[in-house]
Amino acid sequence: MSIIVKEIKVKKALSKSGLPEYDYALNPYLGCQHGCIYCYARDFTKGEPAIKWGEVVYVKVNLIEVLSSEVKGLRRGVVGLSTITDPYQPIESKYRLSRRALSLLCDSGFHVSVQTKSALVIRDIDVLKQCGEMADVGLTITTMSDSYKLIEPNTPPPLVRAMTIRKLAKAGVKTWIFLGPIIPGINDSRLNYEPIIRLAKETNSQLIIDRFRPRETAVRLMRTKLNINPVPTNNWWRRVVGELTQLCDSYGVNCITEEDEWRSRRRNNSILDYLK
């Protein structure tokens, strides 16, 4: 898919994260080429990249310059890279903002938690190894089947993501898998979860699971593009969590829900301690 790229300058690099698991969020891009149907990030993005989600991406070309002066005066903590975009979407191969930010943040004493669907993160294994315990990488894998094309039409295939996490784990990078969102009728079967749990076992990755949370745009796109109207009830979620927990236990995989993760990190005085 062709993409319109616009370069912009920003005054701030890090923002306070709205997610309890992070202290800061770093989003080098506004908009995301991956254009997932269920994406919540577009609801937290303003202007053209939100309206033309998946078609327009703004690049914060002065990000590293701003970040390097910003970090000098900030309390150390955990940075989510990224929270409303994929930091390793294809244009990162040209701009290398995520790579440079990762290196700068680790060198400055910040822990960086990367989340992506892209194999491009492998390019930065050298930086991740230098970061050591100050970095972790999560790959989002919602399914290992071809049904991913319905909900994540412009992303790398799940087999590529699996290869990515294997390479990272082999290099000694701390890895995790985000199995979410789990959407009723799309990826909520044992057939769907089991290969992902096996991958988590193989790569010694924690598995974080999360349910689909209906938001207006995502629901509308599912209705118009997929002709479905998923309703994630509490009973449905209890059934899914029960099945997943049982499977994770049988494989010996550390498996938690997104809510568990928030609670667990809140209980700890230091998020950095939790990540160790």
Residues that bind ligand SF4 (CB under 6 A): 32, 34-36, 39, 41, 85-86, 117
3-state secondary structure of 244: helix
Of 45 and 248, which CB lies nearer to ligand SF4 in the complex structure? 45
Least distance in Å: CB of 84 to ligand SF4?
Answer: 6
Q: What share of the chain is helix, strand, coil (3-state, %, to 5)?
A: 45, 20, 35
Of 90 and 195, which CB lies nearer to ligand SF4 in the complex structure? 90
Pairing of strands 78-81, 24-26: parallel
Of 41 and 141, which CB lies nearer to ligand SF4 in the complex structure? 41
In terms of Cβ atoms closer than 10 Å to its own Cβ (0-12, 13-18, 19+), residue 132 is exposed
In terms of Cβ atoms closer than 10 Å to its own Cβ (0-12, 13-18, 19+), residue 159 is exposed
Of 28 and 35, which CB lies nearer to ligand SF4 in the complex structure? 35
- In angstroms, rounded to a whole number, what is the distance separating the alpha carbons of residues 149 and 248? 26
3-state secondary structure of 24: strand
DSSP state for residue 75 in the 8-state scheme: P
Least distance in Å: CB of 97 to ligand SF4?
Answer: 15
188: tokens are 């909520």
Least distance in Å: CB of 140 to ligand SF4?
Answer: 7
Least distance in Å: CB of 68 to ligand SF4?
Answer: 25
- In angstroms, rounded to a whole number, what is the distance separating the alpha carbons of residues 138 and 116? 6
Any idea which residue has 């994929």 for tokens? 86
Least distance in Å: CB of 85 to ligand SF4?
Answer: 5
Q: Which of 80, 100, 98 minimizes the C-alpha distance to 20? A: 80
Least distance in Å: CB of 42 to ligand SF4?
Answer: 7
Of 198 and 215, which CB lies nearer to ligand SF4 in the complex structure? 215
Of 5 and 74, which CB lies nearer to ligand SF4 in the complex structure? 5
